[in-house]
Amino acid sequence: MSMKKSDIAAKAKESGGDAVVELSSSSRITGIYSQGTAKANVYGSNIVANSSGYSVPVGKNTSRYAVIKYLD
C-alpha cells in the first residue's frame, strides 16, 4: 500500500508524535508486466498483420521514517 506524506504525518500525529523525519527511501524494479495482441488476415494471396502491445515496470518503494516527540 502506498502512503502519501500527508498520510504519514497524520499517522504520526495519531500516535502522539510532533514531527516526522524521513530516514531513507529506495525503489527497485521487481518485474515487468507485458500484454499484447496480434492478428493476421489472409485476403486471397495477401496477408495483412496487425499487432500492438506494451510493457510497464512493476516496482517496490520502501521508506523509513522516525517520529519525533517534543518534550516540555
**Nearby residues of 27 by Cβ (< 8 Å), 6 or more positions away:** 59, 60, 61, 62
Query: Where do the structural domains in the chain lie, given as residue ranges?
Result: 5-68
What cell numbers appear for 35 in the block?
A: 500484454
Per-residue pLDDT tens digits for 29-72: 999 999 999 999 999 999 999 999 999 999 999 999 999 999 98
Q: Residue 49's beta-bridge partner residues?
A: 40
Band (5; pLDDT cuts 50, 70, 90): confident
C-alpha cell at 4: 502519501
Q: How confident is the model at residue 2 (pLDDT cuts 50, 70, 90)?
A: low
